[in-house]
Amino acid sequence: MYLPHTASLPGQEASSLIGRDEDCGFEGNSDLYGLGIRLGIYMQWLSSFAPRGGSQSLLLLVKTYFTFIFAIFVAILLIKVEKTPTYTVEIYVLICIILGGACTMLIALNPKGTKPAEIKGKIFVSWVSALATLCLSDAVACYSFWFWLRGIHNDNFLDTPCGSCVFAIKKSSLSKSKTTKGFAAVSGLIAFGLPGIGAWRVAFLYRNRPSADEPTRPQQDATERDDRGAGGGNMRQKSLDIAILSVKAVYMISFLLAVELTLYWNRVTQVYSVDTPGQLIPLIIGLCGLVQFLYPPLRRRFRDQGILQKMIRGIMLKWAVWRGSRVLGETEEPAP
């Protein structure tokens, strides 16, 4: 018997699309990359852009971030050892979170501006922190190289129901071999390049270490700053700082987009709310670290330029005008 074709109603089409979206996604692990954890880590990335001058604060930042990425890497190793079924895009997100801040943390370490009284122990700790972060990042890069070359084909790593997509300058499908081989090549370059960067960094820290015999007279420091400003060295240093900040910004934004767009494209759920203590604690730590880095330079800037006093006067003036207009309006209202 012939059955005529009947067009589906708009409501039926909408419900089918909603069902398809739900079937294509999966429930993410909020304890590993939930919103609170991601925001806390992003705030630590931003903290590395603060002016260099508080070496003790920078060391605290590196130690805190090292604790974060070490815990995440241990979770990745447990997934490998216990052969826990995990989605491929989840491993990609965790790798991006670890490597995304390693570069900014290593560049942030700078012994210049450290007082001679702080040299003993703290510069050594700076080297140890830099090397520990470097070694962990290199281990993650080696794991990433193995994952994209062989691990992704293991049965323990699952594909997203409607196909796995990740951010690689553009939206790329992991079903294409050129995408996975490209990630393997980049991971290999990072794995072999990080030791060289680490050796250069340690040599840089050693060459630029402050001498314990140097006097700390404010007058001499001011004279040296004037001498540097008179020549072209100060301009070159500023250009170098701007270049480093630009590279760090591009690096951070790229990895941030890689994490967020990958979660969005693969319709990962349960990772966009802060509803567990495991997410709240990293969020608070990241927020406190960001405030700790931003508050001193902003306070000095406002105090030096009198911006804070002007803001307070402006607010008080606007409040007085608003209050006066309210009182004037009440007095001019006609009596009933």
CB-based contact 163:202 (threshold 8 Å): no
- Residue located via tokens 């805190």: 64
- Residue 143: closest CA among 107, 103, 194, 104: 194
pLDDT attached to residue 12: 43
- Residue 282: closest CA among 131, 65, 2, 102: 65
| Angle between helix 307-332 and 277-305 (nearest 10) | 100
Higher pLDDT, 220 or 243: 243
Rg (CA), the chain: 27
Beta strands in the chain (DSSP E): 26-27, 86-87, 157-158, 165-168, 170-173, 268-269
- Residue 137: closest CA among 201, 192, 91, 93: 192
What does DSSP assign to residue 267?
A: T
Residue 54 has pLDDT above 70, yes or no: no
Nearest 10 degrees: Cα torsion 108, 111, 115, 119: 120
Tens digit of each residue's pLDDT (9 = 90 or more) over 116-159 = 444 444 445 556 767 787 888 889 999 999 999 888 887 788 88
Listed in sequence order, the residues at least 6 apart from 68 whose beta carbon sits closer than 8 Å to its beta carbon are: 40, 41, 44, 282
SS3 state of residue 86: strand
Confidence band for 227, pLDDT divided at 50, 70 and 90: very low
Amino acid at 67: T
Residue 25 has pLDDT above 80, yes or no: yes
Burial of 300 (0-12, 13-18, 19+ CB in 10 A): exposed
Tens digit of each residue's pLDDT (9 = 90 or more) over 112-121 = 444 444 444 4
CA distance 263 to 167: 10
Domain-by-domain residue ranges, the chain?
A: 16-326
The count of other CB atoms within 10 Å of the CB of residue 270 is: 14
Helices (runs of H) and strands (runs of E) counted in the chain: 11, 6
pLDDT attached to residue 269: 92
The count of other CB atoms within 10 Å of the CB of residue 237 is: 11
**For the whole model, what pTM was predicted?**
0.73
Tens digit of each residue's pLDDT (9 = 90 or more) over 295-327 = 766 676 666 556 656 666 777 777 777 766 765
Tens digit of each residue's pLDDT (9 = 90 or more) over 164-184 = 999 988 899 998 888 999 999
Host H or E run for residue 28: none
Host H or E run for residue 169: none
CA distance 12 to 67: 50
Residue 91 has pLDDT above 90, yes or no: yes
